[in-house]
Chains A and B, each alone.
Chain A
Amino acid sequence: MVQQKHPIYRPVTRREMLGMCKAGFGSLALLSLFGSIPGCSLFDQSQSDLVKKLSGSNPLPNFVPKAKNIIFLYMDGGVSQVDSFDPKPRLEKENGEDPGKKFKVDATQFGNVGKILKSPWSFKKYGESGMDVSELFPHIATCTDDMVMIRSMVSNFPEHTSANYFLHTGSGLQGRPSMGAWVNYGLGSENNNLPGYVVLDGGLIPPGGLDNFKNGFLPATYQASILRAGAEPVANIRPADSTQGIQDEKLAFLKKMDNHLLSSLGGADEIESAISNYELAYKMQSSIPELTQFGTETEATKNLYGLNSPDLHTRSYGSQCLLARRLIERGVRFIELTCPSVGNGADRWDQHSNLKSGHENNAHAVDQPIAGLIKDLKMRGLLDETLVVFTGEFGRTPFAQGLDGRDHNPSAFSMWMAGAGIKRGTIFGKTDEYGYRVIENPVTIHDLHATMLYLLGIDHKQLTFHFGGRDFRLTDVHGNVIKEILS
């Protein structure tokens, strides 16, 4: 069980919050980009509504949280389930036959339905659990005893953008709050010194764009902070001034003048908060870049994550995974990693053709870093309080698109979770003999969201935001916690 601090779970007056901000500068070493402290981060009705809500009879968390943080490994484009975690020997037998004669083929996105296509990779059973993993993921395969495998995922959309919005926001439409924003809104950042919701941009922003990570109608405070590798991990974080001394002078001037304005007005909350803001922004300029420097990490750790791999993309994704660990160590609630761009015509996992080379390139980039992340978290005791989620927006067809690709398949796909609160080493759900449709325990995206929130201690039905005349939630009017996979 995780001991949590919940600075905003009790009612706090606006004055009090401002007080906290002013008094707390020293300790607020790294402030949230988008401010997670009410009163420092400003607000209006909407946020005070939350505070009101939280101060009511039903404060968050609703349950004892099992996980403190979530690392969401988004496999952009859709990993093929029958080539990764859901072996289907029948495909081997019927390779090259007409799928239309075997089962009813749904309309596909590209309509170019080919023959039944066996997996180019062989499967083996791993760990005590004996979970099946294909050759694509030799490293992840060594972590099966820490994972629950769900082979019965379904989505509502067979097309990337809507499916992405659906996976990220619980709605196929643009402009709704992302799951990370909901978590950030519900729980805030765990240590208040960092954003509650961070997206590590590995190079590929999924179809649908940054709206996958936005706050929608929630206050902007809750949107993702996008971090990239490099000298400027966050927009405008590098001081514009040639030396720190110059900025210091300017800030001293600002403080003097602004305080003068403040006293001439006889005090004004808005302006007071805006002044505080500068001090926090100032600190971030050094603390955020520090976060992305791995100087303190050992060679062994770096090797574990594949930072010394000859594959550029493995190194790149490894850095993201290591950064994710550093962020959760600092208490960031929700971290999403986007995929690296592996090039060679293999755009994401979306192999409408050249399945073999495309999936291999993508797998090679992420396999070692992800396994490294799970092992590193475990060694540090962090896996017990962190939920690692691996999923695409949908799966792929068991028959070919054209000759050597696979089309989108929302009717069945595999995903897995590792770490906190789950029944490790188990498999849940079942697809038909072709891996085309779910035949047992279908899990919807809403169910996934409900379960993720549950593990964080949130009842998905209670996490609501009043907008445009009604209470919205991440799961709309759907979603069931998948109790069977919980420890």
Chain B
Amino acid sequence: MQLRSAINYKILATLILLALPVVFFLSCQQNYSPALPDTVDFNYDIRPILVQKCYLCHGPDSSSRKGNLRLDTYEGATALSKEGTKAISPGHADKSTMIFRINHKDPEIMMPTPESNLQLTKRERALIEKWIDQGAEWKQHWSFIPPTISDEAVLQEKENEGIDHFINKKLEQNGLKASPEAGKTSLIRRVSYLLTGLPPTPEAVDEFMADKSPGGYEQMVDRYLGSPHFGERWARHWMDMVRYAETKGHEFDYTISGAWRYRDYLIRAFNDDLPYDQLIREQLAGDLLNNQRINQASGENESRVATVFYTMGEGTHSPVDVRQDEADRIDNIIDVTGKAFQGLTISCARCHDHKFDPISTKDYYSMFGIIEGTRFSPVPANTAHQSGTIQLLGSEKDSMRAIIAAKWINGLAKKAERVSVIPPTLPTEKTNETTVLGDFRENGLGEWKSDGMAFSNKTTLGDPVFDRQNKIVSLEDGKASSRIIGTGIFGALRSPDFIIDKNFIGLRALGKDASVRIVIDNFQLIQYPIYGGMDQHVDSAGWKNYQFDVSPWKGQKAYIEILPGYFESHVFKMPTGAYVEVKYAIAFNDKWTEPPYQFYGQPTDLQTALDNWIHFKSSSREISAINTLIRKQSLPADMHELVSLLKQKEKQAATLKDSIEFISAVTDGYAKNSPVFIRGSYKQLSDKPVERAFLSALRPANAIYNEKGSGRLQLAQSIANPANPLTARVMVNRIWHHLFGKGIVETVDNFGMQGKLPTNPELLDYLAIKFQRDGFSIKKTIRAILLSNVFKRSVQPGDEARKTDPNNLYLSHFPIKRLEAEAIRDAILSASGKLDTTMYGPPVPTHITSFMNGRGKPENSGPLDGYGRRSIYLEVRRNFLDPMMTTFDRPIPFTSFGKRNVTNVPSQSLILLNDPFVVTEAETMAKKLVAAKNLSFENRVQWIYKRTVSRTASMEEIGAAKELIQHLATIYKLKGGNMDGDIHLWKDYIHSVFNLKEFIYLN
């Protein structure tokens, strides 16, 4: 509370003593509804009040704090003020200035202040008083306390019984009666849609209806859990979390390579019930895991595909302020990571300490560094090459050198010839003009990172060159080469980050279909205008100088990227035979000067030189000396004994080909501790960088990430850690949300103080603990919920529930739920028989209507019916989102949406009434119906009902159908004749059924 200077504190103190007992007395006389709890709980009763009404001025954000008082910590709230008073004096409401201020009527004294427009209710004031009198026990925010279970025995009960135990407890407490179990047709439809997003087939319904055995329901649930369509539905839930899209939006809507492979990865992961902690580790750090999961069938590296998670964001081309662009991009990643995995709004701390949650800007920038140290990279979609072969090739290379060296030594032994290494030519002058960014003329790649297999971890220095007669012609000069094994293998060679301080960057390179890029502030969409010059194609078999004018970006960080292949419209291509070789990279201001060699080895004898050579430790000088001997024919050149080894090597190398398709994923850069951006601006940085670490509220104080790389793996481990109090809770709550339409914590993406409290905290903790003990099995959690009684209840509320729990917080009955956009479209296709259940693969191009215009518009529209494929396989183009999907509330992909809006707007009715897709499918279905011979009128209606609303039609419904069709026939002037046979009539009838509320609602 802000103590205003206008107040004389002595008077104030007197006032407190005088006024408080009166106020206290008055407030005790009140009856509150609901009654005050016997024990006031800080988390459930008090903190919500403080958060809503006090924290704007007395919360964690020091920049907006007033009166030097903070009420977000016990220490702050009970601190002795200058005036010798305490805002909260535990056990003594009457001595607490807070009580005095909140009860006061004088606008100068009262809290919250009148201009804040915040007011405390009488009940809230009474709660605070009672809580202080009871000792003002302070607790950590509920979601930061690890889940606990008071009754361990419940965990031992059958999986579904625990759920009902806690649900029934709440019902009892609130005087509610559970509704009876829903009918069997409702149940199978509910289970089928919620697990697979598709209606049950007529056969499945018949089977389930006929199965009177006690285990019938359970078996039915297991069938749907085991269906491959399960993953297609649950992957889509997760895609809402990760702003899934297949293009980058912005002006030209460029493709995100391999986005669909990530979608397929998710589908497989959910179908295979990949443990959730693994799902976390793979998405956040799949590229860094020791055991990478390879898909045996397709050769895809699942763990790496998972990291496409990072590249799902929007992509701006040609931002003038590329540093800001990076900050925005990283912010989006932090935002999504925080919400999706932790249910926390971390990005609120970008500009100031979080107003409500214990997340500081330091926390934000400790995560910022992790993402900043992460680099984007094309990765071969199919990495089937066996690392075994690569190792084999390496050892063959070793043994080859050993054989050659032995032969040479023997050949020379008698002569005892000394090899005199030519004395180094020392550089004439050392200038500050040129900085060497990379020199590959010696053995190693220095600090540069070689990603993929192409460049291996050495230069070519000393590699023997044979002629066709298997004679050694020479040893190779040093250079970084992408064809050390052969072409067709992907790799990238990247420099460490450096700050641009000279006008130019130069590389001496040769190659074919290759490129060299200067990546400034991690900016990837390099193109004209502005950045076009930062991506140069290398297409020359002879050495050439490639020069980049980086003068506009002095002071900014950058790295150099060397690739066998190139980007075309930001899609990476690696044609057969593409390669690149580089001698060195320099930075200079005016004149290109070849940097001097760095090795000035001592003169030495051949034995030592060859020893070094065998161990890949030669200097360029030694190699050049050996080459002189080869040229002088002093060394035996014929190496026929290597013939078989060379052939074998060639053969093995030929098997090592990467796929020519790439995904847009990530790779690790270098450790990067970011400074805090003061008020979110990179133009104003804190003096010291903050160390990379997980959120300070959720880790031991000294748990700092010290990885040499980005620290992503450690981040993933912190989140997947069983001791993390949020991870399991957030996920089981999402599962609950998807099944009941509302989470136990309604704000599924916000478990912070601004989020809603759990309606059933014990149930949430029970589910979270069980989830962990079940090895983070998503399917087991879903199964337990589906087998519980609460899931099977009918949608009809009892009288009590109507009155006292209209929002159905305690789930006395099952909530009515509208189907999602995808399920509605898929249901129509399923009914019409058009549904093509093919799984996976590139997306079906978006159908472009005449209302969809703008830049980056695809040349050709996709098919109206999406080839009958399930909606999850329809392309998600950011700038051309499918209108039917968007209208039925599929979220716009820019951040996490754990909970979709459920709107009810006329454009939805207009789609179902008039959209050509719906009408066409009605016709398709009508044709099938009419083609099915020997169906009576009644059976036709039944045929339609089973395929649309998954049940049989009543006599009344058949009557209504007859009536409609007769009326329509009259209009069509088809009196008489065979009305059953007319496709128009049945099309209209089916179209009407598609428009029934029952068709798009689950009950």
With A209-B855, A469-B754 already in contact, the answer to whether A270 and B904 are too (CB < 8 A) is yes
Interface segment, one of A97-105, A246-254, A311-319:
A246-254
List which B847-876 residues lie within 8 A (CB) of chain A: 849-856
| Shortest Cβ distance from residue B628 to the other chain A in the assembled complex, whole angstroms | 50
Identify A274's interface contact among B797, B852, B894, B997, CB under 8 A: B997
| Shortest Cβ distance from residue A40 to the other chain B in the assembled complex, whole angstroms | 8
Name the A residues within 8 Å of B529 (CB-CB). 109-111
Identify A250's interface contact among B850, B902, B905, B964, CB under 8 A: B964
CA distance A282 to B850 in the complex (A): 22
CA distance A355 to B991 in the complex (A): 54
Nearest neighbor of B679 in chain A, beta-carbon distance: A477
With A162-B319, A257-B957 already in contact, the answer to whether A249 and B964 are too (CB < 8 A) is yes
Name the A residues within 8 Å of B968 (CB-CB). 246, 249
Query: Is B345's beta carbon under 8 Å from chain A?
Result: yes
B749 touches A468 (CB 8 A): yes
Interface residues on B, range: 35 or more
Residue from A261, A466, A468 with most neighbouring chain B CB atoms (10 Å): A468
Interface segment, one of A210-218, A375-383, A425-433:
A210-218
List which A228-277 residues lie within 8 A (CB) of chain B: 228, 232, 234-241, 243, 245-247, 249-250, 253-254, 256-258, 260-262, 265-266, 268, 270-271, 273-275, 277
A236 touches B816 (CB 8 A): no
Identify A468's interface contact among B253, B345, B855, CB under 8 A: B345
CA distance A240 to B991 in the complex (A): 10
Query: Is A173's beta carbon under 8 Å from chain B?
Result: yes
B903 touches A42 (CB 8 A): yes
Query: Is B887's beta carbon under 8 Å from chain A?
Result: yes
List which B979-1003 residues lie within 8 A (CB) of chain A: 988, 991-992, 995-998, 1000-1001, 1003
Nearest neighbor of A253 in chain B, beta-carbon distance: B964
Residue from A201, A216, A246, A466 with most neighbouring chain B CB atoms (10 Å): A246
Identify A34's interface contact among B251, B795, B853, B907, CB under 8 A: B907
Nearest neighbor of A352 in chain B, beta-carbon distance: B529
Name the A residues within 8 Å of B148 (CB-CB). none
Nearest neighbor of A470 in chain B, beta-carbon distance: B348
List which A162-178 residues lie within 8 A (CB) of chain B: 162, 172-176
Query: Is A58's beta carbon under 8 Å from chain B?
Result: yes
Nearest neighbor of B961 in chain A, beta-carbon distance: A253
Interface residues on A, range: 35 or more
Query: Is A392's beta carbon under 8 Å from chain B?
Result: no
| Shortest Cβ distance from residue B396 to the other chain A in the assembled complex, whole angstroms | 51
Query: Is B915's beta carbon under 8 Å from chain A?
Result: yes
With A161-B250, A211-B892, A220-B887 already in contact, the answer to whether A250 and B992 are too (CB < 8 A) is yes
Nearest neighbor of A468 in chain B, beta-carbon distance: B345
With A239-B913, A256-B960, A271-B997 already in contact, the answer to whether A468 and B251 are too (CB < 8 A) is no
List which B947-963 residues lie within 8 A (CB) of chain A: 956-957, 960, 963
Identify A211's interface contact among B249, B335, B849, B910, CB under 8 A: B249
Interface segment, one of B294-302, B435-443, B644-652, B878-886:
B878-886
Nearest neighbor of A243 in chain B, beta-carbon distance: B971
CA distance A466 to B878 in the complex (A): 24
A35 touches B906 (CB 8 A): yes
Query: Is A29's beta carbon under 8 Å from chain B?
Result: no
B904 touches A240 (CB 8 A): no
Nearest neighbor of A256 in chain B, beta-carbon distance: B960
With A209-B879, A246-B971, A249-B964 already in contact, the answer to whether A33 and B907 are too (CB < 8 A) is yes
B853 touches A278 (CB 8 A): no
A107 touches B552 (CB 8 A): yes
A284 touches B910 (CB 8 A): yes
CA distance A284 to B347 in the complex (A): 42
A173 touches B530 (CB 8 A): no
A221 touches B853 (CB 8 A): no
CA distance A247 to B879 in the complex (A): 34
CA distance A271 to B991 in the complex (A): 19
Interface segment, one of A4-12, A43-51, A66-74, A292-300:
A43-51
CA distance A214 to B886 in the complex (A): 11
Name the B residues within 8 Å of A237 (CB-CB). 910, 914
Name the B residues within 8 Å of A94 (CB-CB). none
Sorted nearest first, the 3 A-B pairs with minimum C-beta distance are A469-B345, A175-B894, A42-B904
Q: What are 7 A-B pairs with beta-carbon distances under 8 A?
A: A207-B854, A210-B854, A210-B879, A232-B850, A250-B992, A261-B998, A468-B749
Chain B residues engaging chain A, CB cutoff 8 angstroms: 117, 119, 249-251, 253, 314, 316, 318-320, 328, 335, 339, 344-345, 347-348, 355-357, 529-530, 552, 746, 749-750, 752, 754-755, 795-797, 816, 818, 849-856, 878-881, 883, 886-887, 889, 892-896, 901-911, 913-916, 918-919, 956-957, 960, 963-964, 967-968, 971-972, 988, 991-992, 995-998, 1000-1001, 1003
User: A207-B854, A220-B886, A237-B910 given. 14 additional CB < 8 A pairs?
Assistant: A41-B904, A158-B320, A161-B250, A173-B314, A174-B250, A219-B901, A220-B905, A228-B851, A235-B849, A236-B913, A249-B988, A257-B957, A468-B335, A468-B347
Chain A residues engaging chain B, CB cutoff 8 angstroms: 31-35, 40-46, 56-58, 107, 109-111, 157-162, 172-176, 201, 203-211, 214, 216-217, 219-221, 226, 228, 232, 234-241, 243, 245-247, 249-250, 253-254, 256-258, 260-262, 265-266, 268, 270-271, 273-275, 277-278, 280-282, 284-285, 466, 468-470
